[in-house]
Amino acid sequence: MAHVDDRELRPLRDLTGPAQITGDAVALDLPPAGVGMRILGVIIDLIVWAVTFFCLNWAALKLVGTASDAVRAGWSIVVLVTSFVLLPTVVETLTLGRSLGKLILGMRVVRTDGGAISFRHALVRSFVGFVEIIGTAGMVALITATLTSRARRLGDLAAGTYVVRETRGLTLPPPAQMPRQLAAWADSPAVVSPLPQDLAARMAFLVRQQHVMRTPAFNAVVTQTLREVLPHVTPPPPPGHDPFAVLVAISVLRRDADARRIERDARIRRSVLGR
């Protein structure tokens, strides 16, 4: 079968719009945050991290006392990295993508397929953000967010994430269920290894189209997507099943795995915070 490229997906996307492309475990049907809102959120976060830096740096310099200038400079660098890279990473990991600025403005970081971010995503965003926001006074981040779809800065592009607006009163369709004929295979247990972000987003979008007419073009995209997904699935599903049903089953497996990870993170957070 000929490769099905992104242009052939556009008519299917248009049936529901880009805000409908959602992923696993996080119930999202949300539009991306605009550049202006993101700038305001970054300003709030920068104030928080700057205050943190000055407080920690003052404490560190008090501790080293009359140490050499090289030691004092070394401690300042450690505090700088801690304040602007490590702390934002920990906060976004524990809050599932909400820094203080995002929380105040009703925003959240998600993967490009709509799923919850992990420590890896948060670390990449913070590390690249330190360079593009702190190192260039925000100019690189502003230019990139203005030129890319969904206002993604370099950190988002590197991590495979974007920022959404969390609206209230949103009605969501019920989540996909495991097809009965594939339940035994899923309980084997089947495991889905991490997918490339664009592939995960495409699969999540297709699974949402359960009520779309199964045209030849739709079936071709489903078959092509399934072929790309199967190398990431162990053990592979039994042959002879409808490709769309298999894609739904794999998506449900990913969603359930994400849900377990989120619950595990929540237990850790409760144990750390003592509540």
9-39: per-residue pLDDT in tens? 454 443 333 333 333 333 344 678 889 999 9
pLDDT tens sequence for the chain (275 residues): 334 444 444 544 433 333 333 333 333 446 788 899 999 999 999 999 999 999 998 888 888 777 777 877 888 899 999 999 999 999 999 998 999 999 999 999 988 877 789 899 999 999 999 999 988 988 999 999 999 888 899 999 999 899 998 765 445 557 788 888 988 888 888 888 888 877 888 888 888 877 666 778 888 889 999 999 999 999 989 888 999 999 999 998 888 887 777 777 777 777 776 65
Tell which residue, 202, 233, 240, has the closest CA to residue 220: 202
Contact (CB, 8 A) for 38 and 107: yes
176-224: per-residue pLDDT in tens? 888 889 888 888 888 888 888 778 888 888 888 776 667 788 888 899 9
Strands 161-165 and 191-192, how do they pair? unpaired
**Is the entire prediction scored with pTM above 0.75?**
no
Q: Alpha helix (H) ranges present in the chain? A: 10-13, 35-64, 69-81, 87-94, 100-105, 119-129, 139-147, 154-159, 183-186, 197-208, 216-229, 243-273
Whole-angstrom distance, CA of residue 246 vs CA of residue 101: 40
Contact (CB, 8 A) for 241 and 183: no
Collapsing DSSP to helix, strand or coil, 163 comes out as strand
Angle between helices 216-229 and 197-208 (to 10 degrees): 140
